[in-house]
Amino acid sequence: MRVPHKSVVLVVDGRKSLFFQNQGDADQLNLQLVSGQEHADLPDREQKRDAQGRKTSSTGIGGDDTSETDFHQQEEDRFAADTAEELRRRALSGEFEQLIVVAAPKTLGELRKHYHKEVETRLLGELAKDLTGHSVPDIEKILLSN
């Protein structure tokens, strides 16, 4: 993937966002961290994703309650929406002209729902990969190979 000089690279998942700027050129990346944010830890809750729904009363209105609320996913979706808002703010204030988004697949899907038109006009590319735990040299290598 071509990452032009001075373009911003956002590396994000549902819990962490890292804003980089390429101080190198498109062939020799030099990503420098501009800012980062990490989601506050959620309280530990047992996620019974494989548990069957419970039966409600057999009299009156009712039935199977098979939907489980996934609070962690809701928080990750909220974090993605907040990150999209941060992108909007930065785009409107002229902090970047070119943007590449590298995001975990679910996070990328959620981000796309919230992109502002100014962000979309600056978007050069997207990569559906979770790279938030990778080193900067690894991120640079993966970007260059895609």
Tens-place pLDDT, residues 60-112: 555 555 567 778 888 999 999 999 999 999 999 999 999 999 999 999 999 99
Domain membership of residue 80 as a residue range: 8-39+71-145
CATH of the domain at 140: 3.30.420.60
The residue among 68 and 21 whose pLDDT is bigger is 21
Cβ 28 vs Cβ 41: under 8 Å: no
Structural domain includes residue 138: yes
Number of domains in the chain: 1
Structural domain includes residue 21: yes
Structural domain includes residue 45: no
Structural domain includes residue 134: yes
DSSP state of 4: -
Which residue blocks in 5-132 are alpha helix, DSSP H?
71-92, 105-114, 117-122
Structural domain includes residue 1: no
Structural domain includes residue 55: no
